[in-house]
Every structure is written in C-alpha cells, then in structure tokens.
Amino acid sequence: MLQTILQYLMSMAGIISLMGTYMIILGYTRNAMYDNVRKNGIKTEGTVVKMLSRSESTYPGGKQAGYAPVVEFTTVNGHYTHVSPTYRNPSPYQVGQKVDIYYKFYKSIHEMALEDDVPDDLPKKLFLCGLLFCGIGYPMVYYKLQLLF
C-alpha cells in the first residue's frame, strides 16, 4: 500500500513541484500588491461610506475582529468602491471621513489600497503551502533525475 502511494507521488513529482512554485510566486505577489499600488498607483480622495464589522464570535481569538472601511471614489473612468481587508478595533475611520486612496488599473485588473491596508492571511497560507509542495516535489524530481544519469 505504502509502495503504491510512493510510486504515485513519484509520478506526480513535477506537477507537485510546479504547483508549489506557483503558490510561492502567487503568495509573494499578493503580499506585495498593496505596497506596489501605494508606490506606483494614482492617489485620489475617497469617502468612507460604510464600516464592515467582524465579531469575535465569528473569528475566535479576535485576530480579525473589528471594523474595516468601505471607501467610494471617482476617477475619470467611473465610480469605484474599495473594501479594505484590514479590520481594526477601534477603527481609525468613521463614516463620511475623507481618506487618501491609491488605485492602479490595468485592463481588467483593478487594484486599490488605503494608506494602512495590509494583506490578509491568504498570502502567508499560499507561501507555506508552496513551501510544503516544493519540499515534497523537488527532492523527488532530484531523485528521478539521478536515476537517469
């Protein structure tokens, strides 16, 4: 049984390695997205129109509990809404407050960020899963390559 599982994993070594590499790259780009938008995007003024809340009962431990602003702003291309991924308690924002927001639009990709937006846990999880897949896949690829020579 174990031998069959190992043979199957060995046959999938290249795919596992590529998936791990892709997860690491995706995690890195998602983590750097907010800094990139603030650095290379266009700065404009928006208005906080609503505060979203997350309760401690929904997120045990209170790590993500708090309030996040929903900001509306207008560009020459139209009217846009940004929902911040950063929940804080207490929140530094209030409904009606004017805030600076950065945006970067390229074709169908719309990236937006407030001054203090930080990524959620997804980039970290992608990066860790990518390391796990690479840690499993690349040694198997190396072993298979050694058998060729």
Residue 73: predicted pLDDT: 96
More confident residue, 143 or 44: 44
pLDDT digits (tens, 9 = 90+) for 98-113: 999 999 998 888 999 9
Q: What is the mean pLDDT of the segment spanning 59-65?
A: 57
The tens digit of pLDDT for each residue in 3-53 reads 887 787 778 888 999 999 999 999 999 889 989 999 999 999 999 999 998
Average pLDDT value for the chain: 88
Backbone angles phi and psi of 15, in degrees to 5: -65, -40
* Predicted local confidence at residue 77, as pLDDT: 86
DSSP 89-106: SS-S--TT-EEEEEEEEE
pLDDT of residue 11: 84
Domain ranges of the chain: 15-148
Axis-axis angle for helices 13-40, 2-11 (nearest 10): 50
Which of the four pLDDT bands, split at 50, 70 and 90, describes residue 88?
confident
Q: What is the predicted pLDDT for the residue at 125?
A: 93
Closest CA to 69 of 37, 43, 101: 101
> How far apart (Å, rounded) are the C-alpha atoms in residues 137 and 149?
19
Residue 61: per-residue pLDDT: 54
pLDDT grade for 132, boundaries at 50, 70 and 90 = very high
At residue 81's C-alpha, the angle toward residues 80 and 85, to 5°, is 140
